[in-house]
Amino acid sequence: MFSIEMDDLGTRLYYVIYSVMFPQGITDLKPRAIMNELQISDCYEWFSSVGTGMSKNMNTKQTILERLEMLCFKNDNNTALEKEAATVLIPLVCGGLASIHTSRCIYQGKPFTSDILNLYRLSFDFDLLYNMLKFASMLYCKGQYEAAGKYLTYCEGLLGVLCGNTVVVLETKQQKQYMEKIINTPFKDMLMRYTVFHVIFTQQDIHCVPQHLVFEMFRTITDEDRQQRHPENFYEWMDLIVIDTIPFLHYLQYLTHRQLNQRYRKLVALFNLAYYISLSECRGNIDTTLNMLGHCCELENNLHLAWLCYIRSLRLYPRHNAANWHVVMIMYQHIHRCRIRL
Protein backbone atom coordinates (compact mmCIF):
# COMPACT_ATOMS: atom_id res chain seq x y z
CA MET A 1 0.00 0.00 0.00
CA PHE A 2 2.93 2.33 0.62
CA SER A 3 3.69 2.19 -3.12
CA ILE A 4 0.32 3.68 -4.19
CA GLU A 5 1.22 6.89 -6.07
CA MET A 6 -2.25 8.34 -6.75
CA ASP A 7 -2.83 11.40 -4.55
CA ASP A 8 0.44 10.43 -2.81
CA LEU A 9 -1.68 7.90 -0.91
CA GLY A 10 1.25 5.63 -0.05
CA THR A 11 3.31 8.51 1.30
CA ARG A 12 0.36 9.85 3.26
CA LEU A 13 -0.33 6.45 4.80
CA TYR A 14 3.30 6.12 5.78
CA TYR A 15 3.27 9.50 7.52
CA VAL A 16 -0.01 8.74 9.30
CA ILE A 17 1.45 5.53 10.76
CA TYR A 18 4.72 7.29 11.51
CA SER A 19 2.92 10.13 13.31
CA VAL A 20 1.01 7.65 15.48
CA MET A 21 4.16 5.81 16.43
CA PHE A 22 6.31 8.94 16.78
CA PRO A 23 4.03 11.95 17.52
CA GLN A 24 7.01 14.25 17.99
CA GLY A 25 8.10 13.66 14.37
CA ILE A 26 4.89 14.64 12.57
CA THR A 27 5.66 16.01 9.10
CA ASP A 28 3.45 18.65 7.48
CA LEU A 29 1.26 17.22 4.73
CA LYS A 30 -0.29 19.28 1.97
CA PRO A 31 -4.11 19.54 2.01
CA ARG A 32 -6.09 17.81 -0.75
CA ALA A 33 -6.97 21.16 -2.40
CA ILE A 34 -3.28 22.01 -2.81
CA MET A 35 -2.58 18.50 -4.10
CA ASN A 36 -5.32 18.99 -6.70
CA GLU A 37 -3.78 22.30 -7.77
CA LEU A 38 -0.34 20.73 -8.14
CA GLN A 39 -1.68 17.78 -10.13
CA ILE A 40 -3.69 19.99 -12.47
CA SER A 41 -0.67 22.26 -12.96
CA ASP A 42 1.41 19.20 -13.84
CA CYS A 43 -1.29 18.16 -16.30
CA TYR A 44 -1.13 21.49 -18.12
CA GLU A 45 2.66 21.43 -18.08
CA TRP A 46 2.57 17.94 -19.60
CA PHE A 47 0.14 19.04 -22.31
CA SER A 48 2.30 22.05 -23.16
CA SER A 49 5.31 19.77 -23.59
CA VAL A 50 3.25 17.48 -25.84
CA GLY A 51 2.09 20.46 -27.88
CA THR A 52 5.56 21.87 -28.39
CA GLY A 53 6.96 18.39 -28.90
CA MET A 54 4.48 17.82 -31.68
CA SER A 55 5.56 21.05 -33.33
CA LYS A 56 9.23 20.03 -33.09
CA ASN A 57 8.60 16.73 -34.83
CA MET A 58 6.38 18.08 -37.56
CA ASN A 59 9.18 18.51 -40.06
CA THR A 60 7.46 17.14 -43.15
CA LYS A 61 4.08 17.50 -44.74
CA GLN A 62 3.70 13.73 -44.83
CA THR A 63 4.26 13.46 -41.06
CA ILE A 64 1.55 16.02 -40.39
CA LEU A 65 -0.92 14.35 -42.75
CA GLU A 66 -0.32 10.99 -41.05
CA ARG A 67 -0.95 12.49 -37.62
CA LEU A 68 -4.03 14.30 -38.84
CA GLU A 69 -5.42 11.07 -40.28
CA MET A 70 -4.72 9.23 -37.04
CA LEU A 71 -6.40 11.92 -34.94
CA CYS A 72 -9.46 12.02 -37.19
CA PHE A 73 -9.76 8.24 -36.87
CA LYS A 74 -9.60 8.46 -33.08
CA ASN A 75 -12.14 11.26 -33.13
CA ASP A 76 -14.59 9.04 -35.03
CA ASN A 77 -13.99 5.62 -33.50
CA ASN A 78 -12.44 5.70 -30.05
CA THR A 79 -13.52 6.35 -26.48
CA ALA A 80 -15.00 9.62 -25.27
CA LEU A 81 -11.71 10.61 -23.62
CA GLU A 82 -9.70 9.91 -26.79
CA LYS A 83 -12.24 11.83 -28.85
CA GLU A 84 -11.87 14.83 -26.56
CA ALA A 85 -8.08 14.65 -26.87
CA ALA A 86 -8.37 14.42 -30.66
CA THR A 87 -10.63 17.47 -30.86
CA VAL A 88 -8.01 19.45 -28.94
CA LEU A 89 -5.04 18.27 -31.03
CA ILE A 90 -6.59 18.34 -34.53
CA PRO A 91 -6.60 22.18 -34.69
CA LEU A 92 -2.92 22.22 -33.66
CA VAL A 93 -2.06 19.86 -36.52
CA CYS A 94 -4.15 21.91 -38.97
CA GLY A 95 -2.24 25.04 -37.97
CA GLY A 96 1.10 23.34 -38.63
CA LEU A 97 -0.07 22.13 -42.03
CA ALA A 98 -1.43 25.57 -42.99
CA SER A 99 1.83 27.25 -42.00
CA ILE A 100 3.91 24.85 -44.12
CA HIS A 101 1.67 25.30 -47.17
CA THR A 102 1.75 29.10 -46.82
CA SER A 103 5.53 29.19 -46.39
CA ARG A 104 5.94 27.38 -49.70
CA CYS A 105 3.50 29.76 -51.38
CA ILE A 106 5.44 32.79 -50.11
CA TYR A 107 8.74 31.25 -51.27
CA GLN A 108 7.31 30.50 -54.73
CA GLY A 109 5.50 33.84 -54.99
CA LYS A 110 2.09 32.19 -55.26
CA PRO A 111 -1.18 33.24 -53.57
CA PHE A 112 -2.45 30.89 -50.90
CA THR A 113 -5.65 29.00 -51.59
CA SER A 114 -9.00 28.85 -49.82
CA ASP A 115 -8.01 25.40 -48.51
CA ILE A 116 -5.11 26.98 -46.62
CA LEU A 117 -7.41 29.62 -45.16
CA ASN A 118 -9.78 26.88 -44.01
CA LEU A 119 -6.89 25.12 -42.26
CA TYR A 120 -6.01 28.36 -40.48
CA ARG A 121 -9.64 28.79 -39.40
CA LEU A 122 -9.68 25.26 -38.01
CA SER A 123 -6.45 25.95 -36.14
CA PHE A 124 -8.05 28.84 -34.26
CA ASP A 125 -9.92 26.25 -32.17
CA PHE A 126 -6.63 25.46 -30.42
CA ASP A 127 -4.97 28.15 -28.31
CA LEU A 128 -6.44 31.07 -30.24
CA LEU A 129 -3.63 33.51 -29.43
CA TYR A 130 -0.89 31.12 -30.57
CA ASN A 131 -2.38 30.45 -34.00
CA MET A 132 -3.64 34.01 -34.47
CA LEU A 133 -0.11 35.28 -33.98
CA LYS A 134 1.25 32.78 -36.51
CA PHE A 135 -1.47 33.90 -38.92
CA ALA A 136 -0.66 37.58 -38.37
CA SER A 137 3.05 36.86 -38.83
CA MET A 138 2.25 35.17 -42.13
CA LEU A 139 0.20 38.19 -43.26
CA TYR A 140 3.09 40.50 -42.38
CA CYS A 141 5.52 38.37 -44.39
CA LYS A 142 3.13 38.47 -47.36
CA GLY A 143 3.01 42.27 -47.17
CA GLN A 144 -0.64 42.40 -46.09
CA TYR A 145 0.08 44.90 -43.34
CA GLU A 146 -3.42 46.27 -42.79
CA ALA A 147 -4.87 42.79 -42.34
CA ALA A 148 -1.97 41.85 -40.05
CA GLY A 149 -2.61 44.98 -37.97
CA LYS A 150 -6.28 44.06 -37.49
CA TYR A 151 -5.46 40.55 -36.31
CA LEU A 152 -2.76 41.85 -33.97
CA THR A 153 -5.25 44.26 -32.42
CA TYR A 154 -7.59 41.32 -31.87
CA CYS A 155 -4.73 39.31 -30.34
CA GLU A 156 -3.99 42.14 -27.94
CA GLY A 157 -7.56 41.88 -26.69
CA LEU A 158 -7.05 38.20 -25.95
CA LEU A 159 -4.27 38.82 -23.43
CA GLY A 160 -5.15 37.81 -19.90
CA VAL A 161 -3.88 35.53 -17.19
CA LEU A 162 -1.95 32.92 -19.16
CA CYS A 163 -0.25 29.65 -18.42
CA GLY A 164 1.52 26.86 -20.27
CA ASN A 165 4.97 27.42 -21.70
CA THR A 166 4.62 31.17 -21.90
CA VAL A 167 6.32 32.75 -18.90
CA VAL A 168 4.16 35.60 -17.63
CA VAL A 169 4.73 37.77 -14.59
CA LEU A 170 1.66 37.25 -12.39
CA GLU A 171 0.68 38.84 -9.11
CA THR A 172 0.07 36.44 -6.21
CA LYS A 173 -3.63 37.28 -6.22
CA GLN A 174 -3.86 36.51 -9.93
CA GLN A 175 -2.08 33.19 -9.43
CA LYS A 176 -4.59 32.18 -6.76
CA GLN A 177 -7.51 33.17 -8.98
CA TYR A 178 -6.03 31.24 -11.86
CA MET A 179 -5.56 28.08 -9.81
CA GLU A 180 -9.17 28.28 -8.66
CA LYS A 181 -10.27 28.71 -12.25
CA ILE A 182 -8.44 25.68 -13.65
CA ILE A 183 -9.90 23.47 -10.91
CA ASN A 184 -13.46 24.51 -11.77
CA THR A 185 -13.14 24.66 -15.58
CA PRO A 186 -13.28 21.62 -17.91
CA PHE A 187 -9.82 20.67 -19.16
CA LYS A 188 -10.65 21.22 -22.85
CA ASP A 189 -12.19 24.65 -22.22
CA MET A 190 -9.21 25.67 -20.10
CA LEU A 191 -6.77 24.73 -22.84
CA MET A 192 -8.65 26.58 -25.55
CA ARG A 193 -9.58 29.70 -23.59
CA TYR A 194 -6.88 30.33 -21.01
CA THR A 195 -3.70 28.47 -22.03
CA VAL A 196 -0.93 29.84 -24.25
CA PHE A 197 2.20 28.15 -25.56
CA HIS A 198 5.41 29.48 -27.04
CA VAL A 199 5.11 30.41 -30.71
CA ILE A 200 7.23 27.96 -32.69
CA PHE A 201 8.44 28.06 -36.29
CA THR A 202 10.34 25.26 -38.02
CA GLN A 203 12.43 25.09 -41.17
CA GLN A 204 9.27 24.13 -43.03
CA ASP A 205 7.43 27.39 -42.26
CA ILE A 206 10.47 29.67 -42.13
CA HIS A 207 8.99 32.10 -44.68
CA CYS A 208 6.10 32.89 -42.32
CA VAL A 209 8.29 34.64 -39.76
CA PRO A 210 10.13 38.02 -39.96
CA GLN A 211 13.62 37.50 -41.36
CA HIS A 212 15.41 38.83 -38.28
CA LEU A 213 14.11 35.89 -36.26
CA VAL A 214 15.51 33.33 -38.69
CA PHE A 215 18.88 33.81 -36.95
CA GLU A 216 17.33 32.10 -33.90
CA MET A 217 17.55 28.81 -35.81
CA PHE A 218 21.32 29.19 -35.95
CA ARG A 219 22.08 29.99 -32.32
CA THR A 220 24.52 27.09 -32.07
CA ILE A 221 27.67 28.50 -33.68
CA THR A 222 30.95 27.05 -32.37
CA ASP A 223 32.12 23.48 -31.80
CA GLU A 224 32.05 24.17 -28.07
CA ASP A 225 28.37 25.07 -28.41
CA ARG A 226 27.66 21.78 -30.12
CA GLN A 227 29.55 19.79 -27.51
CA GLN A 228 27.31 21.26 -24.83
CA ARG A 229 24.14 20.05 -26.54
CA HIS A 230 23.84 16.79 -24.62
CA PRO A 231 21.54 15.02 -24.26
CA GLU A 232 20.74 15.92 -27.85
CA ASN A 233 16.96 15.55 -27.62
CA PHE A 234 16.87 18.09 -24.79
CA TYR A 235 18.32 20.78 -27.07
CA GLU A 236 16.32 20.11 -30.23
CA TRP A 237 14.39 23.34 -29.70
CA MET A 238 17.57 25.32 -30.46
CA ASP A 239 17.16 24.43 -34.14
CA LEU A 240 13.74 26.08 -34.14
CA ILE A 241 12.45 29.60 -33.64
CA VAL A 242 10.86 29.63 -30.18
CA ILE A 243 9.34 32.94 -29.08
CA ASP A 244 7.38 33.99 -26.01
CA THR A 245 3.86 34.97 -26.99
CA ILE A 246 3.48 38.46 -25.51
CA PRO A 247 6.79 39.97 -26.72
CA PHE A 248 6.22 38.42 -30.15
CA LEU A 249 2.87 40.22 -30.28
CA HIS A 250 4.50 43.58 -29.50
CA TYR A 251 7.33 42.91 -31.96
CA LEU A 252 4.90 42.15 -34.77
CA GLN A 253 2.90 45.25 -33.85
CA TYR A 254 6.02 47.38 -34.10
CA LEU A 255 6.99 45.97 -37.50
CA THR A 256 3.46 46.23 -38.87
CA HIS A 257 2.76 49.79 -37.68
CA ARG A 258 6.15 50.82 -39.00
CA GLN A 259 5.21 49.58 -42.46
CA LEU A 260 1.87 51.41 -42.20
CA ASN A 261 3.65 54.66 -41.16
CA GLN A 262 1.67 54.72 -37.90
CA ARG A 263 4.32 56.34 -35.75
CA TYR A 264 2.37 56.58 -32.49
CA ARG A 265 1.22 52.94 -32.55
CA LYS A 266 4.71 51.85 -33.51
CA LEU A 267 6.24 53.61 -30.50
CA VAL A 268 3.57 52.21 -28.17
CA ALA A 269 4.44 48.69 -29.34
CA LEU A 270 8.14 49.43 -28.81
CA PHE A 271 7.45 50.71 -25.29
CA ASN A 272 5.35 47.63 -24.48
CA LEU A 273 8.16 45.35 -25.65
CA ALA A 274 10.73 47.18 -23.52
CA TYR A 275 8.36 47.18 -20.53
CA TYR A 276 7.81 43.44 -20.85
CA ILE A 277 11.58 42.90 -20.71
CA SER A 278 11.85 45.07 -17.59
CA LEU A 279 9.41 42.72 -15.84
CA SER A 280 10.76 39.46 -17.22
CA GLU A 281 14.51 39.38 -16.67
CA CYS A 282 15.80 35.80 -16.99
CA ARG A 283 12.28 34.50 -17.69
CA GLY A 284 11.34 32.41 -20.70
CA ASN A 285 13.25 33.05 -23.92
CA ILE A 286 14.43 36.46 -22.73
CA ASP A 287 17.47 36.32 -25.01
CA THR A 288 15.22 36.14 -28.08
CA THR A 289 13.05 38.94 -26.68
CA LEU A 290 16.11 41.17 -26.21
CA ASN A 291 17.19 40.36 -29.75
CA MET A 292 13.78 41.48 -31.03
CA LEU A 293 14.11 44.74 -29.10
CA GLY A 294 17.60 45.20 -30.53
CA HIS A 295 16.21 44.82 -34.03
CA CYS A 296 13.56 47.46 -33.32
CA CYS A 297 16.33 49.82 -32.16
CA GLU A 298 18.24 49.12 -35.37
CA LEU A 299 15.15 50.03 -37.39
CA GLU A 300 14.94 53.24 -35.35
CA ASN A 301 18.52 53.89 -36.50
CA ASN A 302 19.81 53.73 -32.94
CA LEU A 303 22.72 51.32 -33.22
CA HIS A 304 23.97 52.18 -29.73
CA LEU A 305 20.76 50.98 -28.05
CA ALA A 306 20.65 47.97 -30.35
CA TRP A 307 24.20 47.09 -29.32
CA LEU A 308 23.25 47.33 -25.64
CA CYS A 309 20.27 44.99 -26.18
CA TYR A 310 22.41 42.36 -27.90
CA ILE A 311 25.19 42.62 -25.29
CA ARG A 312 22.64 42.26 -22.50
CA SER A 313 21.26 39.19 -24.23
CA LEU A 314 24.76 37.70 -24.47
CA ARG A 315 25.51 38.41 -20.83
CA LEU A 316 22.47 36.37 -19.85
CA TYR A 317 23.21 33.55 -22.32
CA PRO A 318 26.77 33.72 -23.74
CA ARG A 319 26.32 30.46 -25.66
CA HIS A 320 23.64 29.34 -28.10
CA ASN A 321 22.54 32.91 -28.67
CA ALA A 322 21.66 34.47 -32.03
CA ALA A 323 22.81 37.81 -30.63
CA ASN A 324 26.33 36.80 -31.68
CA TRP A 325 25.28 37.26 -35.31
CA HIS A 326 23.60 40.59 -34.61
CA VAL A 327 26.64 41.98 -32.79
CA VAL A 328 28.80 41.15 -35.82
CA MET A 329 26.32 42.96 -38.08
CA ILE A 330 26.31 46.02 -35.80
CA MET A 331 30.12 46.11 -35.89
CA TYR A 332 30.07 45.83 -39.68
CA GLN A 333 27.59 48.71 -39.98
CA HIS A 334 29.69 50.87 -37.63
CA ILE A 335 32.87 50.20 -39.60
CA HIS A 336 31.05 50.92 -42.86
CA ARG A 337 29.78 54.28 -41.55
CA CYS A 338 33.26 55.24 -40.36
CA ARG A 339 34.68 54.53 -43.82
CA ILE A 340 32.02 56.68 -45.47
CA ARG A 341 32.86 59.59 -43.14
CA LEU A 342 36.55 59.24 -43.97
What is the structure's pLDDT at 25? 47
Per-residue pLDDT, 46 = 52
Range of the domain at 11: 1-30
Helix ranges, 58-171 (H): 61-77, 80-108, 114-123, 128-141, 145-158
**pLDDT tens for each residue of 96-105:** 889 989 999 9
Domain count, the chain: 3
Regions of the chain short of the pLDDT cut 50: 22, 24-27, 50-56, 58, 161, 163-173
pLDDT for residue 3: 75
137 and 81 within one domain:
yes
- Shared domain for 26 and 87, answered yes or no, is no
- Look at residue 267 and tell me if it is in a domain: no
Please report the pLDDT score of residue 42 as a whole number: 57
On whether both 106 and 123 belong to a single domain, the answer is yes
Give yes or no: residues 46 and 152 share one domain.
Answer: yes
Instruction: Give pLDDT, residue 169.
Output: 40
pLDDT of residue 252: 98
Instruction: Kindly state whether residues 2 and 50 are assigned to the same domain.
Output: no
Contact 241, 214 (CB under 8 A): yes
Buried residues in 82-105 as b, exposed as e (16+ CB within 10 A): eeebbbbbbbbbbbbbbbbbbbbb
- pLDDT of res. 314: 94
Q: Can you give the pLDDT at residue 228?
A: 85
37 and 176 fall within a common domain: yes
What is d(CA 224, CA 330) in angstroms, rounded to the nearest whole number?
24
Residue 242 · residue 198 · CB < 8 Å? yes
Domain check: are 74 and 159 in the same one?
yes
Residue 263 falls within a domain, yes or no? Answer: no
**pLDDT value at residue 15:** 63
